[in-house]
Amino acid sequence: MKIKQPEQITPQSKNFSRWYTDVVLKAQLADYAPVRGCMVIRPYGYALWERYQKILDGMIKKAGVPNAYFPLFIPWSFLQKEKEHVENFSPQTAVVTHGGGKKLKEPLIVRPTSETIMYYMYSRWISSWRDLPLKINQWANVVRWEMRTSLFLRTTEFLWQEGHTAHATLEEAEKEARRALRMYQKFYEKYLALYPILGVKSNQEKFAGAEKTYTVEIMMKDGKSLQAATSHNLGQNFAKSFNITFQDKDKKTKYVWQTSWGLSTRAIGGLIMGHGDDHGLVLPPRVAPIQAVIIPIWGKEDKKTKAYLEQVKKAAGNVRLEVDLRQEVSPGWKFNEWEVKGVPIRIEIGPREQQEKTVTLVRRDQLGEKITVSLEKLKDKLSSLLEEIQESLYQKHKDFTEKNSLFVDSWQEFKKAIANKKFVYAYWCGSPQCEEKIKEETKATTRCLPLNATTKKGKCVFCGKPASQRWLFARSY
């Protein structure tokens, strides 16, 4: 063989962030682009994103939110209209100053998020209660000039969906913000097989311009938390900045109540770091672009082996199937490569299998074990195995998260738990000063006040003042 084995992936235990980069590059999910902080999403990575899109887009449409498309460019003045929004996003923007060979009168911002450009249009489209609720989703690229970047997790340009709604009442807006949160929860649990913690962000951590930010936090294999999707109740902040009013049934003119919610290509990073192991990616079957790969193990192809391969393909049923017929690499090399790519099931067929009319299956998440199946039973076996893998990955991630979560009541314990890469649930008095100092000393931030948090008496883990609820603290991406 002239073609060399894929280079080793750095073990997670040795250097988790190098492991991550190795996997992204070697699985050909993405590559570095020749533009600062940008990446190229390669076909295999994009196929994964297309699976995400198909599933999430279906959920969004089912909730009565159609897609539309708003401009990439936002007039500089628009960004200035909402105070918190401009403070947060101004330093992160890419600015177009020249167009068509001339200097522009007013610079244009490349959208970091689309509230301002969309709500300008909303103010033109909404005039009566009959126009409400107005719900629109957009799949788009956005740009934020980040200082430190990382493939998928934090790139200058990234892809996402952003939903934006306007309602007649606060109650409706709150309901919609929670609906979106539950939608993301379902997406992560049912499809990405990841166990999400849902909660509300602190004032410090909430979206710039929001009244309340709901978040989905997920534990990565290094114990850090990934903010994996957010949903904002925007109150009337933008409505007032962009003058979005309607005449209500009572003939009075009122401001609308709004929400926005989004999930980005960052969710691919979350999948990698939530399930991956030292062999590479581990993909949950429901989002895997390829669910099973057939690798023939015979020296030469002849009529008989070809015919058997066709039989196997037919017997496999409706799974997303790939057949690796490359001659220039060995079966062992192929095993390795498809493991790096995280394909849930490998189907080996060799002379013995051909003779016995069977195939040998190997699960990506249980590499040591081989399963022999007859052709007649292959379809059912694949189908049940894929379900089993999906369920097992979820359970494993849930167990992992729970095993690494602690209730902590003293500052010593807190520091130790964070150093030990735990999710820490601790009382916090709510003061931004404590929040800031905790961050300084431990690098841990308030991830959220979990939705299911109960109200009890307690003392702030940092200052000892009275506190009523335990917040989730962790280091994060």
Structure-block tokens of residue 285: 């079957």
φ, ψ dihedrals at 342, nearest 5°: 75, 20
Interface with its own copies includes 100 (CB under 8 A)?
yes
Interface with its own copies includes 124 (CB under 8 A)?
yes
Interface with its own copies includes 435 (CB under 8 A)?
no
Binding its own copies by CB under 8 A: which of 23, 24, 27, 108?
A: 108
Nearer to its own copies, 81 or 212 (CB): 81
Structure-block tokens of residue 314: 């037919």
| Binding segment toward its own copies, per CB under 8 A, in 123-131, 181-189, 358-366, 464-472 | 123-131
Interface with its own copies includes 94 (CB under 8 A)?
yes
Q: What is the largest CA-CA distance in the chain?
A: 81
Closest CA to 460 of 440, 433, 441: 433
188: left (phi over 0), alpha (psi -120 to 50) or beta: alpha
Smallest gap from residue 344 Cβ to its own copies (A): 20
Binding its own copies by CB under 8 A: which of 56, 86, 110, 166?
A: 110
- Measured CA to CA, the distance from residue 443 to residue 435 in angstroms comes to 11
Taking only Cα atoms into account, the Rg of the chain, rounded to an integer number of angstroms, comes to 25
| Binding segment toward its own copies, per CB under 8 A, in 142-150, 173-181, 215-223, 337-345 | 142-150
Interface with its own copies includes 307 (CB under 8 A)?
no
Neighbours of 21 (CB within 10 A): 17
Q: Within 62-91, which residues bind its own copies (CB under 8 A)?
A: 66-75, 78, 90-91
- CA distances from residue 316 to 94, 322, 367 in whole angstroms, order as listed: 49, 11, 20
Smallest gap from residue 326 Cβ to its own copies (A): 9
Interface with its own copies includes 5 (CB under 8 A)?
no
Binding its own copies by CB under 8 A: which of 9, 79, 117, 448?
A: 117
Q: How far is C-alpha 425 from the geometric centre of its chain's CA atoms? A: 23
Binding its own copies by CB under 8 A: which of 60, 79, 153, 159?
A: 159
Binding its own copies by CB under 8 A: which of 24, 56, 126, 143?
A: 143
- CA distances from residue 139 to 52, 69, 284, 345 in whole angstroms, order as listed: 12, 8, 23, 31
Binding its own copies by CB under 8 A: which of 46, 152, 191, 423?
A: 46
Query: Reading across the β-sheet that carries 358-363, which strands appear in turn?
Result: 321-323, 292-296, 345-349, 358-363, 371-374
Binding its own copies by CB under 8 A: which of 25, 59, 96, 375?
A: 96
Binding its own copies by CB under 8 A: which of 9, 24, 140, 297?
A: 140
Smallest gap from residue 49 Cβ to its own copies (A): 8
Binding its own copies by CB under 8 A: which of 98, 306, 370, 437?
A: 98
Closest CA to 201 of 460, 449, 31, 17: 449
- CA distances from residue 138 to 6, 164, 180, 193 in whole angstroms, order as listed: 39, 8, 14, 25
Interface with its own copies includes 417 (CB under 8 A)?
no
> Which stretches of the chain bind its own copies, using CB under 8 A?
31, 33-36, 38-43, 45-47, 49-50, 66-75, 78, 90-101, 107-108, 110, 117, 120-121, 124-125, 130, 136, 140-141, 143, 145-147, 156-157, 159, 328
